[in-house]
Amino acid sequence: MTREQAREKAKALVAQMTIEEAASQLRFDAPAIPRLGIPEYNWWSEGLHGVARAGTATVFPQAIGLGATFDKELLKEIGSTIATEARAKYNESVKHGDRDIYKGLTYWSPNLNLFRDPRWGRGHETYGEDPELISRLGVNFIEGLQGDSDHMKIAACAKHFAVHSGPEAERHHFDAKTNLQEMWRTYLPAFEAAVKEADVESVMGAYNRTNGEPCCGHSYLMQDVLRGKWAFKGHFVSDCWAVLDFHEHHKVTKTIEESAALALEKGCDLNCGCTYQHIMDAYDYGQIPEEHIRRAAVNLFTTRYRLGLSEETEFDSIDYKVVECKEHLALASRAAKESFVLLKNDGILPLKKEKLSTIGVIGPNADSRAALMGNYHGTSSRYITILEGIQDYVGDDVRVLYSLGCHLSADREEPLAKKDDRISEALTVAEHSDVVILCLGLDETLEGEEGDQGNAYFSGDKDDLLFPESQRHLLNALMETGKPIVLCVMAGSAMNLNDASEGCNGIFQVWYPGARGGADFAEILFGDVSPSGKLPITIYRDLEGCPDFTDYSMENRTYRFLKKAPLYPFGYGLTYGKTCVDSVEFCEPVSWDSLPKEVSVAITGHNDSNIDLEDVLQVYLHVEGTEDEVVNPRLVAFERIQLLAGDKFRLTIKIPYKAFETVDENGERSKKGTQAQLYFGFGQPDARTSELLGTKGKELTIS
């Protein structure tokens, strides 16, 4: 069913409603209208990395881990798989008369915000810090969720629109201030791609204000940009209880009725929260015209018709047995393996089982289910932690010793014990082991969303990049033993790895790898599969020179604006082999003054090692001769490639005309400057990446 057909049906249905009935449908928990045959419907479902909060489902790596795959096709497959499980669960829920929260077909994912500062607690819900990476992965994920059938498989939602990335503790009253240039080159590109390329069905507004206006009642963002420039045709939903903030915290309105009127006027069709329960009061006071109520209802029922909620669809026969089926679990396993980023390897990796008699597995995240999950997660029927994955892999051939080592964040594990009460056991395990696998990091209780009605725990942002003190004590004590250490960092953001990079023999960034990620990590650790993940964020040496967290300036933030060498750069990640770019050439002559719609480049290279591997070819661009360009070369294209041992590759990458444009101070995009420099390799064209990889890429100039 096309959007136009669905809209006509929606108009006819809404025309039959009383104004009270139409108003009731603008709540996330929309009640039934029996006389029109409309059942109740709850709009709130979550699918960030699997069907969430609705019982058993396949749990994929957290979004930041999916970002580390740099795998567009994988994201589309995962989106489609989540939608398949969502339909299967919906079919059964409706059959049993269960239309509760989290069980509908409107999924409030993905999170397309840019991870601008490593202190943000919700950064691990995003795909990283680069607009192009977020855009490409987001478009594919949305296309996978929504499908290409007669009806939408499920409805995706691009959130949180816009200029939103903390601070969590202040989000209900915070005003994120940015200029038009930064808005259009940093904060809006992923949303624009979601609307114009993926035809995303809904957009969710953020809690904060942006440049003075609340994001769920914003003239420029919602009317001028979203509905105007981008011609968005779907529905707009508020973040949960965000409209209540208008009068309670932002103080842009005085009453709840005024807040409802403002949000509805600007185009917020659906309210997650309680504010729209007061729409009829505002209507009676003359604050809301009937037209606004019916317009919003039509937008919402257009979505419901596109989903086929009132008729038979091609998805009604999806069997419940697809939930956590063999194929879906295999896809989650593939995603986890592609997400792990090898940051350091002095030759210790991969481990050889036959050369080991005892392995020590230590750390508060070694046997933690929470460290597998991230947030906004579903429930798995089985969990495999890092400890369990290693135990299962080596079986009876190698003895595995285990110690918690320390509490995740407190200074002791047992309340009546002295500080660091598990370190002596950790040292004992290390002393009796050939190698130590040390699992440190965070979980959703230490980095995540500010606690609210839908989020019972309280976590929020990080104060700094340091591991909790208890973990720092453990790390330092183990490094002093002289035993070989492979550090496994289970966290969704950049941590301070300065000491670890000096004292550990190997370092993996494992993120939150999904319910059974421990088994996948073991296969990487022992070399069954070569690591291939790339950093979707920068791992900084420190925050010196970075603006205050509440300052939305991009100065010294993310790789595009960083003025000093990071510890581990965006786009970096080792494999167990070595890939090289041998040559790059334009497929046809190009000049700066007459660029085609796409610039095609032929690239050749080879796998300079005796193992099969995957790697990610990356293309960076920098326009010379204009102050509108960002500080450093920026990612404009990427492609994951598979190579057999010693194999050669040849591929063609197409770089769109838009990549050569820059954004001026008025937010206008155009081609300026005198020439463009293109870089092709398996990481950024910076000195630190070349130092870490031991190789350089190739360059081309368009002049």
**C-alpha closest to that of 531 among 544, 539, 542, 520:** 520
Strand order in the sheet with 175-176: 175-176, 209-210, 213-214
pLDDT for 459 beyond 70: no
386-394 vs 517-525: helix axis angle to the nearest 10? 50
Overall average pLDDT of the 261-270 stretch: 98
pLDDT for 698 beyond 90: yes
pLDDT-based confidence at residue 1 (cuts at 50, 70, 90): confident
- Average pLDDT of the chain, as a whole number: 97
pLDDT-based confidence at residue 520 (cuts at 50, 70, 90): very high
Q: Could you read off the pLDDT of 647-689 as tens digits, one per residue?
A: 999 999 999 999 999 999 999 999 999 999 999 999 999 999 9
Q: Could you read off the pLDDT of 487-514 as tens digits, one per residue?
A: 999 999 999 999 999 999 999 999 999 9
Q: What are the backbone dihedrals phi and psi of residue 79, each rounded to the nearest 5 degrees, phi first?
A: -60, -45
pLDDT for 455 beyond 70: no
Q: Is 461 a catalytic residue?
A: no
pLDDT-based confidence at residue 274 (cuts at 50, 70, 90): very high
* Whole-prediction pTM: 0.98
pLDDT for 364 beyond 70: yes
Choose the catalytic residue: 71, 117, 130, 239. Answer: 239
Q: Could you read off the pLDDT of 167-205 as tens digits, one per residue?
A: 999 999 999 999 999 999 999 999 999 999 999 999 999
What contacts 589, CB < 8 A, 6 or more positions away? none
Helices (H), 419-461: 423-431
- How many separate helices (H) and strands (E) can be counted in the chain? 20, 23
What contacts 4, CB < 8 A, 6 or more positions away? none
Predicted local confidence at residue 456, as pLDDT? 47
pLDDT-based confidence at residue 458 (cuts at 50, 70, 90): low
Would you state the structure tokens that stand for residue 148, as one six-digit string?
A: 């290409």
pLDDT for 457 beyond 60: no
Distance between CA 459 and CA 461 in Å, rounded? 7
Predicted local confidence at residue 527, as pLDDT? 98
Would you state the structure tokens that stand for residue 331, as one six-digit string?
A: 């896809």
Residues in the chain: 703
pLDDT-based confidence at residue 450 (cuts at 50, 70, 90): confident
Overall average pLDDT of the 362-366 stretch: 98
Distance between CA 318 and CA 575 in Å, rounded? 39
Stretch among 381-385, 450-454, 690-694 having the lowest mean pLDDT: 450-454
